[in-house]
Amino acid sequence: MSVLEYVRSQTKEFLESMPKSVRKKKGQFFTSLETAIFMAEMFDFSNCGDEVSVLDPGAGTGILTAAFVDRVFKENPNIRITITCYETDTEVLPVLKNNLEHLKNTFKDSLNYRIIEEDYILSQSNDFQENLLASKNPEKYDYVIGNPPYLRVMRDNPSAIAMPKVVHGAPNLYFLFASMSLFNLKNDAEMVYIIPRSWTSGAYFKAFREYFLNEGKIESIHLFVSRDKVFNAEQVLQETMIIKVRKTAKKPDNVLITSTDSSSDFENITKLRVPYDAVVAGDELYVYLPTNEADINVIEKINMYHSTMPDEGLKMKTGIVVDFRQWEELRKEPGENTLPLFYSQHIRDGRVNHQPSGKEYDWIIDEKPGLIQKNKNYVFIKRFTAKEEHRRLQCGVYSPSDFEEYEYIGTQNKINFVDKVDGREMDTQTTYGIYALLNSTLFDMYYRILNGSTQVNSTEINNIPIPPVDLIKEIGEQVLLSKDLSTDNCDRIISEVAYA
C-alpha cells in the first residue's frame, strides 16, 4: 500500500468514527485525496534546494502533508524534508501522529516532522503583530499547504483579537489562518490553500484582502464549477476555491485560472491565463474569477470607466423595514395613516407594482419616520435570488406617479434601491439609465464574476465602475423613447451609447 493510500484509509476510518455534526461545530472539513494531490501539484519545485521545510497549519489527519511529501520525493528522492504540523484536536491527533510516523518509517532519515499542539493563531500572534513580545527571528517556511477551519467567530474571540489588522466585521478562522500562513512564508516562497470564495469581495474581508494581496500575489486559482462536491466525503455545499500565492511585492503578468466539475475529477481541466489586473482590481482589491474569454471581455468593458455610483452622486441602499422586527407597525390592509410596503415580490418585468405579494403584511403605518422614505424615483433590485435563476441582478423602475396618493412608502429589507446621495430625487432619465445598466447582461455577468453568492450586496454594486451621468441619462432617454424594458433592448442601447 502506498503512503497516500495508507493515509487515505486512516482518514476514512476517522471520518466514519466521528459524526459530521461534531466536526462541523469545529469548522472541520477534510480534504479528499484527489484534492490533496492536486494541491501538491500546484507548487513549483524547480528552484528548491537540497532541504525544504513545509508547514501544514490545522493539519487534521495529515493528508495534505502526505500528498506534498509524496510529490517531492517522486521528483527528487535525495531531498530532505522538514515537516511542521499544527493540530490541537485531541480526537484527530492520534491519527495525525500515526500517519506522520508512517511517513517517517517510509522515508527514514530524509524526513523529519514535529507536531505543535498549540493554537496556530495565538501561538504566533505577537510575531504577526510585531509587538514588544515578538520573536527576533520568527520561523519561516519554504512552503505552506493548508485546509483551514471554516468557522465564524465573534469579534471578541481570542484569535480575532490577536489579529486586528486583518479583521473588519465578522471574522472567520479561515482568513486568519491564511493571513498567518502568508506571514509564515519566507520571501518569494509559496503557499497553496483551499478556502471559501467569500473573501474575494465585500466589506467584511477588505482588511484581509489589503494585507493578503499586498504581502502576496496570486499566481493561480482553481475553481470548482459544480460546487456541491468539493469535499466529496463531507457533503459540503460550499463556494470553494484553491489558490496559490507567492510572498512577493512583484505582480505577475497573469494568473492561471483552472476549473473542473468537482474535487473527484481533475482530469478534464479547463485552463485560462488572465491578466493580473483583470483578476485583482479596484481600490477595494476585489478578486474577479473569469473562467472564459467572454468573462475577461466583460471585466475589461466595465473597467473602461473609473467612476462609481457614489462618485456620480448616486448610491444603492438597503431597504429599511425588517418585517419580523416591526410587526407592530405592519398592517394587512390599507387604511388611515398606512403606506404601501414593497417587497422583492413586487418587482416584476422591469416595473414595481403593489399587487398582493404573498406576504401577510403589505402595508405599514406612517408613525415612525425612520421606517419610511419619500415617494420618488428609485430603481429597486432584489437582494436575494435562487442559485438556479438565470439572472442575479433583478430590478425594476419605481415610479412615484403610480402611487401618487402617498407622500411616503416603505421598503422591506430584502430590497436594495438606488437613490441620490444627497437625498434629492433622481430625474427620470437617470432612473431609467441606471435600470438599463443593472438590467443588462453585461452588468449581470460582471456581478456573477465578482460574487458567487446569491445575495446582491449594495457595497459591491456601489463599487462597480459606471459611465458618467451624462451617458447614463442618454441611455435612459433611449429606453424611455423605446418603451421597451427588456434586457435585449437595454443591452443594445448601452452597447451603442457607453460600451461601443
Residue-wise pLDDT tens digits, 180-203: 999 999 999 999 999 998 899 988
Closest-CA residue to 378 (of 330, 334, 315, 467): 315
pLDDT tens-place string over residues 246-265:
999 999 999 999 988 765 66
Question: Bigger pLDDT: 134 or 326?
Answer: 326
Pairing of β 141-146 and β 51-56:
parallel
Residue carrying C-alpha cell 469535499: 231
Percent of residues in the chain assigned helix, strand, coil, to nearest 5: 35, 25, 40
Closest-CA residue to 53 (of 181, 144, 120, 177): 144
**Arithmetic mean of pLDDT, 373-398:** 94
**pTM to 2 decimal places:** 0.86
Per-residue confidence (pLDDT) for residue 476, from 0 to 100: 98
Per-residue confidence (pLDDT) for residue 218, from 0 to 100: 98
Per-residue confidence (pLDDT) for residue 236, from 0 to 100: 44
Percent of the chain with pLDDT over 90: 79
pLDDT above 50 (res 414): yes
Per-residue confidence (pLDDT) for residue 101, from 0 to 100: 97
Contact 212, 247 (CB under 8 A): no
Q: What is the DSSP string of 307-321?
A: --TGGGTEEEEE-SB
Q: How confident is the model at residue 169 (pLDDT cuts 50, 70, 90)?
A: confident
**156 Cβ contact list (under 8 Å, min separation 6):** none
- The pLDDT mean for the chain works out to 92
